[in-house]
Amino acid sequence: MDDALQTDEELALAAAREGSDGLAFRELMGRYRERVWRTCYRLMSDAHDAQDAAQDVFVRLFVARKQFEGRSKYSTWVFGVALRTCLTHRRSRGRRQRRVRLVEQEAIEAVPAKATGADNYQGVDLDHLLAKLSEEDRALLIMKYAEGYSYDELAEVFLMSVSACKMRISRARQRLKQQHSEAVA
């Protein structure tokens, strides 16, 4: 059967049976390369970090290719791996970035503020507001609203019930709204 006509799940089963240079895994990688990178970019907020994370995702998918059991859609499994990989990458870079931000903040505070109206404008930076949320809440909001995942898909990826997923997203949105109102006040 032609790889382009096979489902992701059929290709995943074929990839689990083939050797290290298998056509089925390469076909799956081609199908998911862009979507995984886009998801990583949205979760990482940096193109270089997203590229590193996406490569790590495909390495993990390759190493774990025999672990896909077909209980869910292959895409759900892939994006679960992508999510956990990005969260791990974000946590590991967190300490380094906090030190850099402290140095940058000290440099900004050392520069006197300008008095002109245009320079006093303070826009709301969504990335900055999202960064104040927990890693999982941030990822939930990004995957729901930027990537368009359904509550059912998110519940499966985050290993929670659909109602817990809805509640978690609702609470994260409330925190985001509260931060926004505090930022513009």
- Ranges 36-40, 82-86, 118-122: which has the least confidence: 118-122
Is residue 42 in a domain?
yes
Q: Is the pLDDT higher at 125 or at 83?
A: 83
Is residue 72 in a domain?
yes
The residue out of 110, 143, 166 marking a domain boundary is 110
* Model confidence pLDDT, tens digit, residues 105-154: 554 554 444 444 444 445 557 777 888 888 888 888 888 888 888 999 89
R_g (Cα) of the chain, nearest Å: 20
Cβ atoms within 10 Å of 3's Cβ, excluding its own: 15
Q: What is the CATH number of the domain that holds 177?
A: 1.10.10.10
Q: Indicate if 95 and 128 belong to the same structural domain.
A: no
Q: Is the pLDDT higher at 12 or at 70?
A: 12
Q: Indicate if 153 and 80 belong to the same structural domain.
A: no
What is the length of the chain? 185
Give mean pLDDT, residues 6-33. Answer: 90
Instruction: Give dist(CA 146, CA 185) in Å, integer.
Output: 26
15 pLDDT above the threshold of 70: yes
| Number of domains forming the structure of the chain | 2
